[in-house]
C-alpha cells in the first residue's frame, strides 16, 4: 500500500471516529433533554391538558347529559357576566399599554447605564417586587392605598381619596389593579428585555452612531424593532395572566368590606358558580371562554409579532 493510500485510510478512519463521537454526543444530549422535559410533560398532562379536557366535558354537559351550548347561554344571561367582562377588559387595556410602554422605556434606560454595578443593582431593585406572591403584594398595597398611613398619601388625597374605600372605588379599580400588576410583574420583564438588548450586535449600534443617529433615534429605529419578538412574547404571557385576574380583587373585596364585589372578575364569577352555587358546568363554561379568547389573541400576537420567524 502506498503512503497516499495509508494516509487516505487513516483520514477516513479518523473521520468515521469523529462522526461516531458527534452522534454519541447528540444521543447523550437527546437523552438529557428528554429527561429534563419528561417531568414537565407529566405535570402539563396532569394539571393542564387533562383538566382542560374535563372542563370541555363539563361545559357541554349537565348531570352527564349533553346539553350543547346551554351552559354558555346561561352564563351570557347572568347579570354579573358582562360587567365582569368589562372590568377585565378595561384592566387588560390599561395594564398592557402601561406594561409595554414602561417596560421598554425602563429597559432601554437601564441598558444605557454604562456603570456595571449600577446597572446590575438597578435590575435587581426592579426584580425584587416580583419575588412577592400575589396575595402578599396586595397586602402591601392595602397599606400604600390607605391615605392615612401611606407614604404617598398626599398623592392619594390630591386625587380625592381620604380612605382605602375611596381609593378602590369601582371606577378607579382597573387603574389600581394595573399599577399593582405592573409593580409585581414589570421587573422580570425588564430583565428579559435587557437580555434582548444585549443580543443586538454592537456593530449595528456603532454604525448608527457613526451615521449621526442619537440615542432616541437608535432606540426607535433599531433597538425597539429588534425587540419586537420579545415584546410580543411579553404581551402574550401578560394577557394570559391578566385574564386570570382573581387574587387582587378578592383580597381588596375583603379589605374594603364589599366595595369591590366578589364577582368583579370573570375568575371570581367562575369561583362563585363552582363553590357558592355548586354549578361546575357554568364555571367550566366561563373557563372555556377565557381559554378560547386567550388562545385566539395569543395566535394573533404570535403572527403579528413574528415570534417564530427566523432572521
Residue-wise pLDDT for 236-274, tens only, equals 888 888 888 888 888 888 887 777 888 999 999 999 999
Considering only residues 237 and 310, tell me which one the structure prediction assigns the higher pLDDT: 237
Considering only residues 28 and 11, tell me which one the structure prediction assigns the higher pLDDT: 28
Average pLDDT, the chain: 83
Q: Where are the beta strands (DSSP E) in the chain?
A: 61-62, 65-66
| Residue 250 in grid coordinates | 378578592
Which pLDDT score, from 0 to 100, does residue 101 have? Answer: 93
> C-alpha angle 36/39/40, rounded to 5°?
85
Judge whether residue 308 has pLDDT over 80. Answer: no
| Per-residue buried b or exposed e for 9-23, using 16+ beta carbons within 10 Å of the residue's own CB | eeeeeeeeeeeeeee
Judge whether residue 301 has pLDDT over 70. Answer: yes
CA-nearest of 114, 96, 92 to 265 is: 92
| Residue 10 in grid coordinates | 487513516
Write phi, then psi, for 202 (nearest 5 degrees). -65, -30
What is the rounded distance in angstroms from the CA atom of residue 37 to the CA atom of residue 40? 5
Which pLDDT score, from 0 to 100, does residue 4 have? Answer: 45
Find the largest Cα–Cα distance for the chain: 99
Read off the pLDDT of residues 211-236 as tens digits, 9 standing for 90 and up. Answer: 888 888 888 888 998 888 889 889 88
Which pLDDT score, from 0 to 100, does residue 153 have? Answer: 82
Which pLDDT score, from 0 to 100, does residue 169 have? Answer: 84
Judge whether residue 296 has pLDDT over 60. Answer: yes
Residues contacting 206, CB < 8 A, separation 6+:
none
- DSSP annotation of 249: H
CA-nearest of 228, 237, 230 to 298 is: 237
Q: What DSSP string describes 59-109? A: HTEETTEE-TTHHHHHHHH-TTHHHHHHHHHHHHHHHHHHHHHHHHHHHHH
Taking the CA atoms of 176, 181, 186 and 187 in sequence, report the sign of the dihedral they define: positive
DSSP-derived 3-state class of residue 27: helix
Burial (0-12, 13-18, 19+ Cβ within 10 Å), 140: middle
| Residue 241 in grid coordinates | 395572566
Site of grid cell 437580555? 195
* pTM as predicted: 0.81
Burial (0-12, 13-18, 19+ Cβ within 10 Å), 235: buried
Amino acid at each position: 500500500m502506498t503512503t497516499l493510500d495509508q494516509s487516505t485510510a487513516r483520514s477516513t478512519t479518523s473521520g468515521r471516529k469523529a462522526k461516531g463521537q458527534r452522534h454519541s454526543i447528540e444521543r447523550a444530549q437527546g437523552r438529557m433533554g428528554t429527561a429534563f422535559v419528561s417531568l414537565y410533560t407529566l405535570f402539563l398532562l396532569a394539571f393542564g391538558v387533562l383538566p382542560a379536557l374535563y372542563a370541555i366535558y363539563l361545559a357541554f354537559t349537565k348531570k352527564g347529559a349533553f346539553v350543547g351550548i346551554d351552559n354558555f347561554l346561561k352564563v351570557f344571561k347572568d347579570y354579573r357576566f358582562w360587567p365582569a367582562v368589562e372590568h377585565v377588559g378595561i384592566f387588560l387595556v390599561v395594564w398592557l399599554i402601561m406594561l409595554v410602554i414602561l417596560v421598554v422605556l425602563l429597559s432601554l434606560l437601564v441598558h444605557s447605564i454604562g456603570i456595571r454595578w449600577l446597572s446590575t443593582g438597578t435590575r435587581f431593585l426592579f426584580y425584587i417586587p416580583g419575588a412577592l406572591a400575589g396575595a402578599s403584594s396586595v397586602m402591601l398595597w392595602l397599606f400604600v392605598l390607605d391615605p392615612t398611613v401611606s407614604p404617598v398619601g398626599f398623592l392619594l388625597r390630591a386625587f380625592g381619596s381620604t380612605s382605602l374605600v375611596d381609593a378602590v372605588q369601582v371606577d378607579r379599580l382597573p387603574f389600581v389593579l394595573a399599577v399593582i400588576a405592573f409593580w409585581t410583574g414589570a421587573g422580570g420583564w425588564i430583565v428579559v428585555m435587557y437580555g434582548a438588548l444585549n443580543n443586538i450586535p454592537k456593530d449595528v449600534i456603532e454604525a448608527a452612531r457613526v451615521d449621526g443617529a442619537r440615542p432616541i433615534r437608535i432606540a426607535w429605529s433599531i433597538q425597539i424593532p429588534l425587540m419586537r419578538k420579545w415584546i410580543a412574547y411579553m404581551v402574550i404571557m401578560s394577557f394570559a395572566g391578566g385574564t386570570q385576574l382573581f387574587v387582587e380583587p378578592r383580597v381588596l373585596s375583603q379589605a374594603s368590606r364589599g366595595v369591590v364585589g366578589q364577582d368583579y372578575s370573570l375568575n371570581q364569577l367562575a369561583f362563585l358558580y363552582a363553590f357558592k352555587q355548586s354549578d361546575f358546568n357554568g364555571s367550566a363554561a366561563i373557563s372555556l371562554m377565557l381559554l378560547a379568547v386567550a388562545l385566539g389573541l395569543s395566535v394573533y400576537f404570535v403572527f403579528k409579532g413574528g415570534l417564530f420567524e427566523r432572521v
